[in-house]
Amino acid sequence: MTMPETIAIIYDFDGTLTKESSLNYTIFPYLKIKPDEFWELVNKEMQKDNADWILIFMRLVLEIAKNKKFKITQKILKKLVKNIIYVKGIPQYFERINTYINKNFKDINLRHYIISGNLAEIVKFSKVAKYMKNIFASSYYYKNGKPVFPLLAVNETLKTQFIFRISKGREKMYEPVNDFIEHSKRPVPFKNIIYIGDGLTDIPSMAVVKNNGGHSIAVYNDTDSKKVCDKLLKEGRVHFIAKADYSKGSKLEKLLKRIIALIIKNN
Ligand SMILES: [Mg+2]
């Protein structure tokens, strides 16, 4: 008997599964800071120190909280996460697509993953977390229950490392990811990977997946993000674009089913 074939759908989080950046529903209102003001600050520091923007974002969250005397703990984050607004069809879509695969393709093992630059604490406490095989996101090192240093800062190019980890079955940070493993011997060959993201920070991931024989989709929530998607399609960074709508019968759901059927047919 052959091993069941694994197909992985990898999602970005903010703007892909959530309507706006999840920070807009959680940390920013809690710290009483406007998103525009915060990102302007990140930008300024980036220019001043020539630093990585995810590290600046993680540091500023802690600094602003400290200055304003707001505590950031896992418990508080867990509570804030309840305010997140998801895009249409989330989370019901996950149950539906899993049932669809189980019913129609018994030999296929469908996995869902999230790779996000945002805080792991937010993503892991969100209501989509339970559908995920694994979540890769930026996270803090906690000392006495307090975040004090970054453990992992997931910028746009580090995202691609996790795609290789998923493909090679080396999902723990201590597992060597650079060993050569033939595609046919990988738990999830690239041709079985579908990447869904909403924006510029997903470009390296979309390109890595597409250029290695996988499938990339850019999703949008409004006319501005549609423009970004149109550009990505025109530049050949993605195969498809669709509205971030995962509801029953949506264009995106149909597209995903079509890609899955194509992967199965070509294997
Ligand atoms: Mg995003």
Whether residues 47 and 154 share a domain: the answer is no
Pick the closest to residue 84 from 42, 131, 125, 130 (CA basis): 125
Sign of the Cα torsion 222, 242, 53, 21 reads: positive
Domain total for the chain?
A: 2
CATH of the domain at 105: 3.40.50.1000
What is the reported pLDDT for 2? 52
Distance in Å, CA 44 to ligand 1 centroid: 21
Instruction: Please list the alpha-helical segments (H only) found in the chain.
Output: 27-31, 35-49, 53-67, 74-80, 92-104, 120-125, 158-168, 203-211, 223-234, 251-266
Task: Judge if 15 and 31 occupy the same domain.
Answer: no
Residues 89 and 77 in one domain: no
Residue 198 CA, ligand 1 centroid: distance in Å = 5
Cβ pair 242, 219 in contact under 8 A: yes
Cis before 91 (ω within 30): yes
Q: Separation of 116 CA from ligand 1 center, angstroms?
A: 8
pLDDT tens digits for 97-148?
999 999 999 899 999 999 999 999 999 999 999 999 999 999 999 998 889 9
- Rounded to 5°, the CA angle 147-149-155 comes to 110
| Residues 153 and 70 both lie in one domain | no
Domain that holds residue 64: 24-82
With cut-offs at 50, 70 and 90, classify the pLDDT of residue 11.
very high
Cα(202) to ligand 1 centroid in Å equals 7
pTM: 0.95
Sequence letter at residue 263: I
Mean pLDDT of 27-37: 97
Task: Give CA–CA dist 59/162, Å, rounded.
Answer: 23
% of residues, the chain, pLDDT over 70: 99
Q: If you measure from the C-alpha of residue 20 to the centroid of ligand 1, how many angstroms do you get, rounded to a whole number?
A: 9
Q: Report pLDDT for 1.
A: 41
Give residue 9 CA to ligand 1 midpoint distance, Å. Answer: 15
